[in-house]
Amino acid sequence: MNATAEKNFFGHPRGLFTLFFTEMWERFSYYGMRVLLVLYMTQYLFIQAQEGKTIWGYETIKAIHEYFFGTLSHQALSSQIYGLYTGFVYFTPFFGGIIADRFIGQRRSVYIGGFLMAIGHFLMAVESLFFPALLFLIVGNGFFKPNISTQVGGLYAQGDTRRDGAYTIFYMGINLGAILSPLICGTLGQKVGWHWGFGAAGVGMLLSLAIYHLGGKHLPETEHKVSIKEVEAASHEPLTKEEWTRTWALTFLCMVTIFFWGVYEQQGNTLQLWSDQNTDWVFFGWEIPSTWYQSFNPIVIVLFAPLLDRVWAWQARHKNAPSTVTKMALGCAIGALALGVMYIAAQVVGTGQGSVLWLFGSTFLLTMAELYISPIGLSLVTKVSPAKIVSMMMGVWFLSSFFGNYVAGYIGMYYEQMGKDHFFLLLAGLSLVPAILFFLCHKFLTQALGKEV
């Protein structure tokens, strides 16, 4: 590929263009479904189940949760299921990465995952198949997610300074999809019918697969140069001492972010409930769907990700850029500040309805925190992971989100039980934990991961 052909997407390879829009529509489908999930369960599905509607697996899942946690309200049960679902979509990528590395390759994994998720989204339109639909989505995401993200890194040679910028641009694609999904899927679900919203998410997944297939010629060709047996043989070569050190340090860094993700994922859970119950969405006599709130986070990312990319590039040129570990520590501290805003909001608003500016202010800070953690972490995994296990380590990165999402669901059970001000103060404290750990372990982590971080 010549230089002219390579630099036609914001100075990056054409393959980034393909992966950008593939991920954009896949995230449209994911967030389109997620934006409705808690509201659908609390306001419709569990009420239908209580009135005798057949929902496969509902009674068993409810009985298991109540065995451990006692009698659960619709909100508490929906929070648990939300946490388990959003957690497992980040758990299965660990295994999807291993399967891709050792057996079927990244491209085949993306196709398999995409088709399974499309099936899951369309099954969501059938009430009785709610839990089987979640299973399809969980398994499909395991194949899809780590192998799309890893292919971004595969577009660049080791040491290419464009890599961090590429992941920031890729992250913008994720968030363009996340902007559109509440506006389309959320509106259809709340104003027309739940199943219309879920069906629109399925259409988004099919668009994602079509773009990936049509743009495949611009993607890394590693899988066409070696056989599956050669890939598997290479994966069994032992890691060196230095590779083991980097792997363990990276694993520790990934696991520390669990606390942050437990706070961050409240956007689709308790913060969505706050948006629906405690926020005044009436403008000029028209009530805006409360799910539109979830478009604000990706809008901030799209507006500010390029700005942060330029700031970090300027700092790098002047040799005063903060390390990756410092950036992630700052992100967690900003996350704590974001929930501090909601603590004040809960005290001011009480049980009534307040200004949308409380949510917007908190979410703006939470989004800035995300920008200091998520795209930086994705880039770090591809930079320092041993090449033979890079997809698996991408799965480890997503594994931290699995635990974080379950923490989000578990803590969310107490949203109605605790005073909301105390609930948000608890979340602020949880986000401070990784900030402190990152600062305390900064020297060890930077030495273990290498000077380039």
The string of pLDDT tens digits covering residues 34-46 is 999 999 999 999 9
Residue 125 has pLDDT above 60, yes or no: yes
Three-state DSSP state, 280: coil
Q: How confident is the model at residue 291 (pLDDT cuts 50, 70, 90)?
A: very high
User: Taking a C-beta distance cutoff of 8 angstroms, is the pair 107, 223 a contact?
Assistant: yes
Residue 328 has pLDDT above 60, yes or no: yes
Half-sphere exposure of 48 (CA within 13 A, CB side): 14
Q: Tell me what pLDDT residue 224 has.
A: 37
Element (H, E) at 89: helix 74-99
Give bridge partners of residue 12 from the DSSP assignment.
9
Helix axes 324-349, 442-449, angle to 10 degrees: 140
Q: Tell me what pLDDT residue 227 has.
A: 44
Q: Tell me what pLDDT residue 226 has.
A: 42
Q: How confident is the model at residue 221 (pLDDT cuts 50, 70, 90)?
A: low
Residue 330 has pLDDT above 80, yes or no: yes
Q: Tell me what pLDDT residue 397 has.
A: 83
Three-state DSSP state, 353: coil
Among residues 177, 117, 176, the alpha carbon closest in space to that of 145 is found at: 117
Instruction: List the domain boundaries for the chain.
Output: 16-217+240-449
* pTM of structure: 0.81
Residue 182 has pLDDT above 50, yes or no: yes
Residue 238 has pLDDT above 80, yes or no: no
Contact residues for 55 (Cβ-Cβ < 8 A; gap 6+): 45, 48, 49, 127, 128, 130, 131
pLDDT greater at residue 127 or residue 450: 127
Q: Tell me what pLDDT residue 390 has.
A: 78
Q: Which CATH class is domain 16-217+240-449?
A: mainly alpha
